[in-house]
Amino acid sequence: MASINLIDAFQDFKDSESIDRPTMMKVVEEVFKTLLRKKYGSDENFDVIVNAEKGDLEIIRRRMIVEDGEVMDPLSEIAYSDAIKIEPDFEVGEELYEEVNMIDFGRRAILAAKQTLAGRIGDLKKNALIKKYEDRIGEIVTAEVYQVWKKEVMLLDDEANELLLPKSEQIPHDFFKKGETVRAVVERIDNKGANAVIIISRTSPNFLAKLLEIEVPEILDGLISIKKIVRDPGERAKVAVESYDDRIDPVGACVGMKGSRIHGIVRELKNENIDIVNYSANVQILIQRSLTPAKVSYMNIDNEAKRADVFLKADQVSLAIGKKGANIKLACLLTGYELDVYREDEEVVDEYDIDLEEFSDEIELWIIDELKRVGCDTARSVLNLTAEELERRTDLEKETITDVRKILQEEFDKE
């Protein structure tokens, strides 16, 4: 056996674009020179020749031909009588080049060399993957879905590196199919034993920040700064922005003409409602803006306790709280203050309610408009009326009313 084919540990390695050929050659050479030192005590008179294209190698031994009986160093010299057994034309003083038969090392040594090589290859691949992605944390990547599991999705980038999208980093309405192209942000690199796992995320605030950066040139140019982003993935997000140029309206620039810039991002985030607000160092103004779309009447702020009592008109309370309490929760996160909502008559809002507009993804707008026409602008105002009363007072059919009440009731049953 003149050479050894390293299919098990070498074939994948030679095709990897993440590792350069000089590094590959050096690693293979080091592994087999270690094998030579173990057998012969030295590797000085051996050349390890790696064929990177075929995935095999040859080991050539160099020895000087000397007169019989004058061999002083068997590693570097060979007697004339032994040399002509290999090739009859050899003469004393010539250098003999002989290919080492890998079988001479023994099966156990060969297997050990393969395992060592596989380990070194694994380390190099891991280091190359980490080097590629450690500077890309927080950046958007586009990858193709390769495998979908219950708790995570495996994707492949353009170099066939594996990326993992855990369930916790997926938007609730995400649904993936094999071969589909997905965008996400690089969240972190997890070291799991011999492997490096690249974790990507679609729920991270950084993902929304990078999408805005792509859609809004003023952010990329540094004319608009994103001060803070808070998200309830798939439901709602709030973004505080600030402009360094008085001539630029940061909110208008982010939203775009007729929402042209924000619509693409909303679709990417599975219809997540995105509130863009002007940042202000004035806490009162920031709280007021953070409760968008509700309109605040007045508030009492305790800066030491980081709390604020916010008073609104009765029809604005449900808007301030939002569906599933998302609006007020995100307002608290955006401002850093604990917000308590009250009606203007100072009555604490004990009963949770939701504006009908919050159900626009489940109930058609013309139905919502019809309910509002008869004074029902919140979920509880609809549920407080019987199906018969709603049928009598509106132009809605009985089946439609039943479906609407079911959707609204299910929302409160979750709480």
Residue 172 makes CB contacts below 8 A (sequence gap 6+) with 233, 234, 235, 270
Q: Fill in the amino acid letter for 378.
A: T
The residue type found at 224 is I
Task: Return d(Cα 9, Cα 11) in angstroms, integer.
Answer: 6
pLDDT for res 2: 37
Contact status, residue 335 vs residue 367, Cβ threshold 8 Å? no
Q: Are 349 and 355 in contact (CB under 8 A)?
A: no
CA-nearest of 376, 413, 411, 412 to 401 is 376
Tokens of 309: 């009592």
pLDDT of residue 149: 93
Q: What pLDDT is stored for residue 190 in this prediction?
A: 86
User: In sequence order, which residues have a C-beta less than 8 Å from that of residue 219 and are 6 or more positions away?
Assistant: 212, 213, 225, 226, 254
Q: What is the pLDDT of residue 56?
A: 67
pLDDT of residue 369: 87
Name the class of domain 206-343.
alpha beta
Which tokens is 198 given? 């690249």
Domain boundaries, the chain: 4-131, 143-201, 206-343, 356-414
Q: Is 262 helix (H, G, I), strand (E, B) or coil?
A: helix
Q: Tell me what pLDDT residue 411 has.
A: 79
- What stretch of H or E contains 119? helix 107-134
- Topology given in CATH for the domain delimited by 143-201: OB fold (Dihydrolipoamide Acetyltransferase, E2P) (2.40.50)
pLDDT at res. 324? 79
**pLDDT the model gives residue 314:** 82
Overall CATH class of domain 4-131: alpha beta
Q: What is the CA radius of gyration of the chain?
A: 35
Q: Give me the residue label for tokens 């018969």.
A: 388
- List per-block mean pLDDT (blocks of 10 residues) for the chain, which spans 415 residues: 45 53 74 82 82 70 88 86 86 86 74 75 78 89 94 90 93 92 93 82 95 93 94 93 90 91 92 92 92 90 92 86 88 94 64 77 87 82 86 87 89 69
